Structure 1
Amino acid sequence: MFVPLHDGVPMRFLRVPYVTYWLICLCIAIRLGIHLFADEAGEVAVLAGFGTIPSVLFGEAMLPEELYKAPPWLTLATGILFHASFAHLVGNMLFLWVFGDNVEDAMGHVRFLVFFVLCGMAGAILHALMNPESPQPLVGASGAISGVIASYLMLYPRVRVWGLAFKWIPLRIPAMYALGAWILFQLLAALFDTQGAVGWWAHLGGLGAGAVLTPLLVRRGLPLFGRPA
């Protein structure tokens, strides 16, 4: 397991990655709001109402009226902003903080926001397809951030990233190794984790969407895979 801390890649086109910062602040504000103003039953209701529930999305089940917060199709997007715990939130926001600014820089504000939402939705769709009868809500920005990771890897594969291996060993290694190992872990977990507590397929869906969308959304002439311009 590799926890990224810093990459040191300077901004080339934007002064401030406003969308990255806005997304981080919004996710933190929502999690804090749930923690401060909702009891346990209220938290369950919020996550069920705004998260993607596969069985509800495909019409196999219906939410009770008191839990209904958004149309099932819209939860593919709203679920991105809600997190089940502070640990879930911190892990996602750390990855977004380290890698999101450079991907936003490569795409521009508007295209990055579109990219982020589409990757999150793609992750939720793949998760639902792989678990069509699940009554559990999928929440969190993991699918969207997986798309950011795929994009960063395509843009800066040779950049050395500071991070913690196994949560406590400091290392500075090329992104292609750190993030490549992270992607391999997601794939193995999706194939062999039978508990279903983590949306591994959402991560893979976001990764796939990020890989497909990056060449379409980055600035014209920006090289990929470390090739010269």
Structure 2
Amino acid sequence: MFIPLYDSNHLRHIKHQYVTIGLIAANVIIFFLTSSSDEYTMQARALGLGYVPSVAFDRATLPAELVLIPSLLTYVTYAFLHNDIWHLGGNMLFLWVFGDNVEDALGYWRYLLFYLLCAIAGALAHGLLMPDSQQPLIGASGAIAGIVTAYLILYPRVKVWILAFGRIPLHIPAYMALGLWILFQLFMLLFGETDQISWACHAGGIVAGALLVLVLRSRDVPLFEQEEPAAQPAESAPAEPAPAADDGPSPWGPRR
């Protein structure tokens, strides 16, 4: 629908977006560790570390050689697996553009908790909609959907640069870009196909993000904030008496 490029929303409460950078690094490292040219190996890893609803709900069991971790942990691990570099790149781009400001509003540890809970909510929504599915769910989209929703609630009027339809550069308020993105996810949940994309996972992340940002944000962070206020001009220094006519120019130059 669109590709996010940049926002002018600067950090105000933290020095650096350490958790966002750490999450991106973890996703990239895990992608390269789990990638393989062998399709069987890729599928085995997806089944062992991805979220399989029928396994999570004890309606099916994996072959013993595919059981890598307890099924309960797959509510989180699935969010660090990706199909290919494009799948990974798209999710990480959204995380890079919008995640830092959500991290700024929540603080480091609450933001990490927020990210993981949104991922869990995405998996749970997917599982509840398709409890008998034996296909593994992978990807960070549920967590990213939560971040997008939190950003929209926190900074709806901040302007962001996007590429609409992948080619048209636009500089528009976040409520237009992200609001339409969220509506599209919900529309596709109701009327779209679910063969390749789990719209339920996106919807679960959206709902979780909207609820969690209300309780996890720092106390001094308001909701629905407008654009970052411009720097206030410094107060004028009190006027000094004009020099006598024979004083000549001041050695300090003009005052500002």
Question: What SS class does the counterpart of residue 11 from structure 1 fall into?
Answer: coil
Aligned counterparts of 1:51 and 1:88: Cα–Cα separation in 2? 15
Unaligned stretches of 5+ residues in structure 2: 228-256
**Paired amino acid for 2:165:** F
Aligned counterparts of 1:86 and 1:133: Cα–Cα separation in 2? 29
CA displacement 1:61-87 (0-9 Å, x = unmatched): 100111111111110011111111111
Find runs of 4+ consecutive structure 1 residues off by over 6 angstroms.
none
Aligned residue number for residue 71 of structure 1:
70
Q: 1:205 to 1:60 in 2, by over 3 A?
A: same
Aligned counterparts of 2:86 and 2:134: Cα–Cα separation in 1? 23
Pairwise CA distance, 1:132: 0.8
RMSD: 1.3
Aligned counterparts of 2:114 and 2:225: Cα–Cα separation in 1? 21
Q: Identity, % of aligned pairs?
A: 50
Q: Which moved more, 1:111-120 or 1:24-33?
A: 24-33
Q: Which moved more, 1:81-90 or 1:194-203?
A: 194-203
Pairwise CA distance, 1:227: 6.8
- After TM superposition, the score normalised by the length of structure 2 is 0.86
- After TM superposition, the score normalised by the length of structure 1 is 0.96
Q: Which has the larger radius of gyration?
A: 2
Aligned residue number for residue 4 of structure 2:
4
Aligned residue number for residue 146 of structure 1:
145
Aligned counterparts of 1:34 and 1:174: Cα–Cα separation in 2? 38
Question: What SS class does the counterpart of residue 183 from structure 1 fall into?
Answer: helix
Q: Which moved more, 1:25-34 or 1:191-200?
A: 191-200
Aligned residue number for residue 22 of structure 1:
22
Aligned counterparts of 2:91 and 2:11: Cα–Cα separation in 1? 21
Instruction: Report the structure, 1 or 2, having the larger helix content.
Output: 1
Unaligned stretches of 5+ residues in structure 1: none
Question: What SS class does the counterpart of residue 206 from structure 2 fall into?
Answer: helix
Pairwise CA distance, 1:226: 2.3
Aligned residue number for residue 132 of structure 1:
131
Aligned residue number for residue 183 of structure 1:
182
Aligned counterparts of 1:46 and 1:195: Cα–Cα separation in 2? 21
Question: What SS class does the counterpart of residue 73 from structure 1 fall into?
Answer: helix
Q: How many residues align structurally?
A: 227
**Paired amino acid for 1:76:** Y
